[in-house]
Amino acid sequence: MKQPIYRRKGWQITFGGIVVLLIAAAVFFFVFLNQSADKKAKRVAESFTTNLKEGKYKQLAQDVTTDSLKEVGFTKKRLQEKYQVVYGGVGVQDITVKNLKVKPGANSRIYDLSYELSMRTSLGKLKTQTYKTTISKAKDEDEWKINWKPALIFPGMVADDKVRLETDEARRGDIVDRTGKKLATMGNFYEVGVVPKLLASGDEKAKRIAAISKEIKVPGSEIEEALEQKWVKKDSFVPLKTVFDGVTSDLTGIAYSQKVLRTYPLNQASAHLLGYVGEVSAEDIEKNPQLKVGDVIGKTGLERYYDKDLRGESGGTIKIVNDRTKHETTLQKVARKDGKAIKLTIDADLQQKTYAGLAKETGAATVINPQNGELLALVSTPSYDANQMAAGIRTEDYKRYNEDKRMPFLARYAARYAPGSTFKTITAAIGLDLGVTKPDKVRDISGLKWQKDASWGKYSVTRVHEKAHVNMVDALVYSDNIYFAQEGLEIGAERFEKELKKFNFGEKYADLPIEMKAAQISNEGLKSEILLADTAYGQGQLLMSPIEQAALYSAIANGGKTVYPKLTVSQKAKAPQQAVKKKSADTVKEALIKTVSDPNGTAHALAVSGKNLAAKTGTAELKQKQGEDGDENGFVYAFNADQPDVLLVGMVEDVKGRGGSSLVIDHLKAVIADF
């Protein structure tokens, strides 16, 4: 049979051609719809996993089918809450989606979805989890959504499962002294508080609170405020204060709870050095997202510097549990790693004794082994109660510390001061090495004031003891400013600065776990003769911390070699640097011995029978302008000339009118006498 032919203005279509066209259109339409469905299914899969990754659980709930939620007894709100409780409870973060796959399923209304999630929990990185579900299209709707089930939270979960985190807290490592004596450790203490139902009511309650307030030294208003907290019930233990001195009170209403806290056996004596620990703040967590609320970290001092090593890594177990079936599945298990111990070169007994000597003053002391640089004691006064800080200091007590003009939080052994006359030993050693200074060289000096010439205007260098003919030994024994000003001018600024660098002057001591600015010789260089002269006897714009002074002065006790300060036993020791010739250092040392032994010597108060001590005192005047009077800081440095393995640099602020540098000797004489 012939097919009909349709003709129209030069072209014709057969019936068979129409069929072919219709089939092609149907195929095209089918492919188009499938491609559109593919895109929509993939889009919802990406939306779901992106919201999951970003913790947007409310938006995530919009990507799931209502039927799948009904099937497991959930609502969108409950789904949102379930994710928040489970993921929040185990500290889920850093979710990464991998291998996201969307494939056509058993029929045109189903797609198979699979993906992997890697994440971190409170216990660290969790093994990559594999998830599978389907994507379906609701009847008479154009939207494709995820068929949700509890196993999409963690594989294997069912509707009434719970996720529990059992933590095994790491023990914070100890900080110990050179002999292993504990300077910072974990200890058992008691928290004192009240139980509301034991306080009775009315007038009787007021009486009991007043008695407890007096007993534990906490204002009654604070006790009342603590009792009004929302979580407090009649039989709750309401903590008020940590007790360090034992449990002694039996007042009605009072109660105690044992707790483990960081403790510092030397307390105030080592507070600046060790610092203290405390609970993390929001700022801490922002800086380190691996921290969580309630974690305890080092806040200041060595506790902060070595926090990562000291803190260790807590362990624990995350389990999927079902209270109904008693079934448990371990999702993650991590063994705890206790913190490492940090061993210092510090001698605990010497630290305590040095602190006791300065405790009533505003000052500092550094004790060093001048042979190898080991720091044996670092003391700053006034201090603060480190145990109280670690336990949680009351706002009023912290405010009192913070507003104290003596700045009890300042670590003065690392703060910079003009060193005063103790620095003359370095000028003498440099002068001897250069041949400018000679033991028998005499300078004729008249009166107590001197200036080079009229170009100095009204400014003069002054001295305390009048002596017409002065050699180097005399100048150190009597601490003659004029002699060293003249020696400094003869050495010259360029040579003086160059030689000073051989003592590691200005070294940043990057290996030392202490924040400290490098020593400075001047603000902008020794640009004037007056500044050079003042610097030569330890004034001018010269600034050094007691640690830096101790390191430089070690050369006088160590045959001309200056050491690098070292605080931890594990710190790699650097070989001492030859700053001046041994002969030059020994010549200065002999003069310092005489400074102690000579009845007229400025350090004669340190003379101890049977001890061959070498020492130098110093007084640094604090003035806004040259020629003005100011407050004074007193210094002393001393060592045993026969057995120079301990060297002390001590200072006290504001000694003017209180005895000057002799006041420092009075406070530290008992320490130095043991050298």
Residues designated catalytic = 421
User: What is the token pair recorded at 421?
Assistant: 């006359």
Q: Which residues are paired to 444 by β-bridges?
A: 469
- Is 94 in a helix, a strand, or coil? strand
316 Cβ contact partners less than 8 Å away, ≥ 6 residues apart: 122, 123, 165, 166, 167, 168, 333, 334, 336
Helix, strand, coil % over all residues of the chain, rounded to 5: 35, 25, 40
What separation in angstroms does the CA of 247 have from each of 190, 221, 226, 256, 262? 7, 23, 21, 8, 18
Distance (Å, whole) CA 629 – CA 624: 9
Closest CA to 178 of 376, 306, 344, 373: 344
Distance (Å, whole) CA 302 – CA 183: 11
Closest CA to 52 of 106, 113, 108, 109: 113
Characterize the bridge pairing of strands 11-14 and 144-147.
unpaired
The per-residue DSSP string of 207-247 comes to: HHHHHHHHHHT--HHHHHHHHTSTT--TT--EEEEEESS--
Q: Please tell me what DSSP assigns to residue 569.
A: T
C-alpha dihedral (626, 630, 631, 634), degrees to nearest 10:
40
C-alpha dihedral (666, 671, 674, 675), degrees to nearest 10:
-100
Cα torsion 617, 545, 414, 511: sign: negative
Side-chain-side CA neighbours of residue 466 (13 Å): 4
Q: Are 542 and 418 in contact (CB under 8 A)?
A: yes
**Can you tell me which residue has the tokens 């040095």?**
354
Characterize the bridge pairing of strands 175-176 and 342-343.
parallel
**Can you tell me which residue has the tokens 């985190």?**
165
Q: What is the residue type of 42?
A: K
Counts of helices then strands in the chain (DSSP H, E) = 21, 27
Burial code of 78-90, b = ≥16 C-beta within 10 A, e = fewer?
ebbebbeebbeeb
Distance (Å, whole) CA 663 – CA 602: 12
Q: What is the residue type of 377?
A: A
Cα torsion 129, 132, 133, 135: sign: positive
